[in-house]
Amino acid sequence: MEYVNSAAFAKQLDEQDLLGPFRQQFLIPQFRGQDIIYLCGNSLGLQPKAVQQHVNKQLSAWQELAVEGWFQGGDPWLSYHKQLLQPLANIVGAHPKEVTVMNSLTVNLHLLMVSFYKPNGKRYKILMEGGAFPSDQYAVESQVRFHGFEPGDAVIEIFPRQGESTLRTDDITQVINDNADELALVLFSGINYYTGQFFDLQAIAKAAKKAGAYVGFDLAHAAGNVPLELHNSEADFACWCSYKYMNSGPGGISGIFVHQKHHHNKELDRFAGWWGYRNDTRFKMAPGFDPEPGAEGWQVSTSPILLMAAHKAALDIFEEAGSVSALRQKSLLLTGYLAYLINEINKKQGQQLFNIITPANEQERGCQLSIVCKQNGKATFDYLVSKGVVGDWREPDVIRLSPVPLYNTFTDVYTAALHLAEAAKQY
């Protein structure tokens, strides 16, 4: 598309946007009597209006039925999570039996590594991207130490080449190949939280399987953001949070994927709990863990129904919006327009004040653009905040802005860039 730097052009795109009406299904915070320009879905999605209704419905069931709510009422709690599986499967490209909802992201990462990090002889190393989100780093460090290894030896991190901000797929697969005999697990983010780079998950998984390693993905910044094909990707497992692009509330319930090829493998270790026991015989309370086939067999604790109710409200919107590809098309236009406007600022200033380190190739990014401020970055960020533009700041010099197709407009993007241009003049 040939973009134009004008409010009229942004308005025209909004008028043509078939997804535009979905904005009305979200609660948008106010700033000086106007909707804020919220470009922080990469950190916390906005609240769907339907959340209150869904949560109140379950509060009423608790009030009216008490413990019988597990078995009675319109949404018996015992099977409540099953309503979420098909929508989740649609979002992450999986079969419903391959996904479930449980716990929080890092807890799930640990539980899945119990099954899929199996050091054996010289095959004990974990490969991950350098600069992964700290909780992933901490989880991996603690896992290798638990097995008696030192992170400095057992964890291989891949960093971009000198002078580059993002990783090349060929470099990732080459490092996998070079360490094939020692790799037990390849663990990558779907999208790097700092740069916004969307990795080629199928290429990574293919290389990992060729090397004889298990492969898993942390999709915190990818689920609900970009098209995923987990079942076809050769991934063994994945996990994600629901509070970013899936708009399911702060600390919302997490989800997992376990490929169907592992569903009947009882030799896989796992930390078991009653909620993962076979559904048809769970209430016999028999000794000896017999897992429910599918991802549900990795469940441990009783479902948190109120969190699931909020998640269901958000997933219903995804179902109404249709395929992830429709959201993706608008997302590419939003980020493309924002990148264009930032480059226009640089042209007018006659220098590269703002350097977008997220890949220029639109297939290698999601909703997020990470922008390096060459001067006075924090002052620039604070100026945006003072104008009602909410992104987020990452030390030492990066502003992350993430226009989300379900609730952001092209006018949001244009206005945010307008204030960024104002900041460039001042600082």
Residues 213-232, mean pLDDT to the nearest whole number: 98
Is the peptide bond between 160 and the residue preceding it cis, with omega within 30 degrees of 0? no
Q: Of 301, 321, 341, which one is at a domain's C-terminal end?
A: 321
Q: How far is CA 65 from CA 76, 220, 260, 302, 312, in A?
A: 10, 35, 36, 18, 21
Task: Print the domain residue range for 224.
Answer: 55-321
Q: Is residue 117 part of a domain?
A: yes
Cα separation, 225 vs 377, whole angstroms? 27
Clarify whether residues 236 and 331 are in a common domain. no
| pLDDT band at residue 427 under the 50/70/90 scheme | confident
| pLDDT band at residue 323 under the 50/70/90 scheme | confident
Q: Is residue 275 part of a domain?
A: yes
Residue type, 332: L
Clarify whether residues 336 and 288 are in a common domain. no
Copy the structure tokens of residue 362: 């639109």
Looking only at Cα atoms, what is the longest distance across the chain? 74
Cα separation, 375 vs 115, whole angstroms? 47
pLDDT digits (tens, 9 = 90+) for 51-93: 999 999 999 999 999 999 999 999 999 999 999 999 999 999 9
Count of residues making up the chain: 427
Clarify whether residues 120 and 160 are in a common domain. yes
Cα separation, 40 vs 166, whole angstroms? 21
Is it the case that residue 155 has pLDDT exceeding 90? yes
Q: What is the DSSP string of 95-138?
A: -GGGEEE-S-HHHHHHHHHHHH---BTTB-EEEEETT--HHHHH
Clarify whether residues 328 and 316 are in a common domain. no
First CA to last CA across the chain, in angstroms? 32
Cα separation, 25 vs 13, whole angstroms? 20
Clarify whether residues 246 and 335 are in a common domain. no
For 312, residues 6+ apart whose C-beta sits below 8 A from its C-beta are 54, 83, 84
Clarify whether residues 235 and 150 are in a common domain. yes
- Of residues 404, 80, 87, 94, the one with CA closest to residue 238: 94
pLDDT for residue 96: 98
Copy the structure tokens of residue 354: 């703002």
Mean residue pLDDT of the chain comes to 97
pLDDT for residue 254: 98
Domain count, the chain: 2
Clarify whether residues 103 and 17 are in a common domain. no
Q: Is residue 26 part of a domain?
A: yes
pLDDT for residue 152: 97
Q: Residue 334 belongs to a domain with what CATH number?
A: 3.90.1150.10
Q: Is residue 259 part of a domain?
A: yes
Q: Of 295, 321, 347, which one is at a domain's C-terminal end?
A: 321
Cα separation, 310 vs 281, whole angstroms? 29
Q: Is residue 405 part of a domain?
A: yes
Q: Is residue 230 part of a domain?
A: yes
Clarify whether residues 269 and 301 are in a common domain. yes
Q: What CA dihedral angle connects 365, 105, 394 and 327, to 10 degrees? A: 30
Q: Residue 246 belongs to a domain with what CATH number?
A: 3.40.640.10
pLDDT digits (tens, 9 = 90+) for 96-117: 999 999 999 999 999 999 999 9
Q: Is residue 207 part of a domain?
A: yes
Q: With contact defined as beta carbons under 8 Å apart, do 111 and 298 qualify? A: yes
pLDDT for residue 426: 84
What number of CA atoms fall less than 13 Å from residue 416's CA on the CB side? 32
Clarify whether residues 335 and 304 are in a common domain. no
pLDDT for residue 118: 96
Query: Strand (E) positions, 139-213?
Result: 155-158, 183-189
Cα separation, 392 vs 244, whole angstroms? 13
Q: Which residues pair with 291 in a beta bridge?
A: 277
pLDDT for residue 288: 92
Cα separation, 165 vs 356, whole angstroms? 10
Q: Of 291, 321, 351, which one is at a domain's C-terminal end?
A: 321
Q: Is residue 363 part of a domain?
A: yes
E strand or H helix at 237: strand 237-240
Question: Exposure of 313 by Cβ count < 10 A (0-12 exposed, 13-18 middle, 19+ buried)?
Answer: buried
Clarify whether residues 174 and 276 are in a common domain. yes
Clarify whether residues 308 and 361 are in a common domain. no
Clarify whether residues 414 and 328 are in a common domain. yes
Cα separation, 35 vs 108, whole angstroms? 36
